Amino acid sequence: MESSGGRAEGSGRGPRVLVVGSGIAGLGAAQRLCRHPAFQQLRVLEATARAGGRIRSERGFGGVVELGAHWIHGPSQGNPVFQLAAKYQLLGEKDLSEENQLIETGGHVGLPSVSYASSGVSVSRELVVEMASLFYSLIDQTREFLHMADAPVPSVGEYLKKEICQHAAGWTEDEETRKLKLAILNSFFNVECCVSGTHSMDLVALAPFGEYTVLPGLDCTFPGGYQGLTNCIMASLPEDVIVFNKPVKTIHWNGSFQEALSPGERFPVLVECEDRTCFPAHHVIITVPLGFLKEHLDTFFEPALPPQKAEAIRKIGFGTSNKIFLEFEEPFWEPDCRHIQVVWEDMSPLEDVTCGLQHVWFKKLIGFFVLPSFASVHVLCGFIAGLESEFMETLSDEEVLLSLTQVLRRVTGNARLPAPRSVLRSCWYSAPYTRGSYSYVAVGSTGDDIDLLAQPLPEEGAKAQLQILFAGEATHRTFYSTTHGALLSGWREADRLIALQDPQAQLPGPWL
Ligand SMILES: Cc1cc2nc3c(=O)[nH]c(=O)nc-3n(C[C@H](O)[C@H](O)[C@H](O)COP(=O)(O)OP(=O)(O)OC[C@H]3O[C@@H](n4cnc5c(N)ncnc54)[C@H](O)[C@@H]3O)c2cc1C
């Protein structure tokens, strides 16, 4: 194995620290460490050719499209992503206003502007409002089981369905309307699957569901792209800190490794990359996505992780949510339309789908958000989660475009609706260094598993060594799945190292 060369070598400049991954967690940790004089030997190893990870903005359709993170959830003073974005002047005036920051959405997605049914008619606004109100009141109820000894059923999905069954028993409308109501509710289940990044709400644990914390503020976007934020953090780091195209293969820990350039010095960790280069270190902050950890659990750590930690990695949920952008010559929607809901009249949350994915994958699509028009370009952004989303990744652009053209023609009742000019989509499940979109607390796991994942190694007894530290969105107990959870987790682990090195340091935490 070759040894690394360059900036981080040399002794007498404090501990040698490696950060694995340059998403917002890794960049946040690196920025914080670089500002402390004790951390002059720092490197970030990134598997791909770019920084930002699941924050990924691309030029497209005459503007910017977000293939990963879309909104700042809860943009208000308690949100560090909002604060940083404001500091770097990346937000619009309205998004910064006090008024926006005070809005309480409860984390619910707003009402659609229009709802199309699969038979080609618009669904009555009244029914949609009634079903949205029922669905979100039930979602709010799920949070009440957090501090109860026993939840009535294991999953959020089962709870919602049980309650919906009871409500449906009291519906007095004709059979067709009752069926339509269930179909509308099914569409809200699909939205919730996108929010939780899961295939089914039956996989999401009920008791800990309320632990996810919603901050105040009306969700906002970055006019110039989310990646402007990670670019700004990156620009604040010394130039050669990030090493790109350096996928880490195995982290050897609890060892005593030497290096030719530093005779006599011993390092407890050795990070081995896929190209066989090796980086000895005193501390390593791992920020790779949970999906990657799940897939490489058997080979990524040597020795293997303690059984409880490995079990937490297996148990915490990590699913797929993707976006499909469609570009149109002319908009077929009204100028004030923001969100188009699609309701499949043959679907019900109370019945399981039995057909093969290739025939029904598009029925999981929640509909489309209308992107602000860039010049004369008109773009819709569809969201789709779960196994259907993973199946979509196996199709070609042409197949996706054809299927969605057929869907749009069918639901608008316009067989001549011009096909979109082009399609662009994310494929997060196929991405080898991500393997999905974001984490959720799955049935069989609790917030304790998240805390367990976040615990540094080695465990108790050898505490002061802090050889391996864990950050990334999946390690934040109350803000998992978000960019602000990821950023806070990076700061948390940087502060842990700073406190070890400099016990007198004034740290702004706790980062909970
Ligand atoms: C489609 C989608 C929509 C989303 N929407 C939102 C949203 O609207 N709002 C929100 O707050 N959040 C959203 N999120 C979630 C948010 O993007 C993530 O929670 C956050 O960006 C995760 O940051 P991270 O640093 O933990 O991980 P990542 O950004 O995934 O960074 C991890 C880095 O590690 C690298 N890596 C992996 N394996 C290795 C290896 N072996 N060696 C070296 N490097 C490696 C990866 O390449 C990556 O750069 C969305 C995510 C997706 C996918």
Tell me the pLDDT tens digit for each residue of 141-192: 999 999 787 899 999 999 999 999 999 999 999 999 999 999 999 999 999 9
Torsion of CA 477, 482, 484, 489, to 10 degrees: 40
Q: Whose CA is nearest to atom 26 of ligand 1?
A: 472
Cα 406 from Cα 309, distance rounded (Å) = 47
| Phi/psi at 250 (5° precision) | -145, 140
Q: Under a CB-based contact definition with an 8 Å cutoff, are residues 404 and 149 in contact?
A: no
* pLDDT for the residue numbered 9: 47
* pLDDT for the residue numbered 462: 56
- Give the pLDDT band (50/70/90) at residue 12: low
Q: Amino acid identity of 371?
A: L
- Give the pLDDT band (50/70/90) at residue 455: very high
User: What would the 3-class secondary structure string for 42-83 be?
Assistant: EEEECCCCCCECCCCEEEECCEEEECCCCCECCCCCCCHHHH
Does residue 475 surpass a pLDDT of 70?
A: yes
Q: How far is the CA of 55 from the centre of ligand 1 (A)?
A: 6
- Residue 108 token pair: 């619910």
Cα 371 from Cα 361, distance rounded (Å) = 23
Cα 492 from Cα 33, distance rounded (Å) = 11
DSSP designation for 23:
B
* pLDDT for the residue numbered 262: 87
Q: How far is the CA of 203 from the centre of ligand 1 (A)?
A: 21
Ligand 1 pocket (Cβ < 6 Å) reads 20-26, 45-48, 53-55, 68-71, 73, 247-248, 287-289, 292, 321, 323, 426, 428, 433-434, 437-438, 472-473, 481-483, 486
pLDDT tens figures, 235-285: 999 999 999 999 999 999 999 999 988 899 999 999 999 999 999 999 999
Produce one character per residue of 478-495: b if its CB has 16 or more CB atoms within 10 Å, e if not: ebbbbbbbbbbbbbbbbb
* pLDDT for the residue numbered 216: 96
Does residue 488 surpass a pLDDT of 70?
A: yes
How far is residue 451 from each of residues 158, 305, 479, measured CA to CA in Å? 26, 15, 12
* pLDDT for the residue numbered 353: 79
Mean pLDDT of 284-290: 98
Q: What is the mean pLDDT of the chain?
A: 94
- Give the pLDDT band (50/70/90) at residue 94: very high
Lookup result for tokens 């920084």: 51
Bridge partners of 301, per DSSP, are 251
Does residue 90 surpass a pLDDT of 70?
A: yes
Q: Under a CB-based contact definition with an 8 Å cutoff, are residues 237 and 32 in contact?
A: no
Would strands 422-425 and 248-252 be described as parallel, antiparallel, or unpaired? unpaired
- The length of the chain in residues reads 512
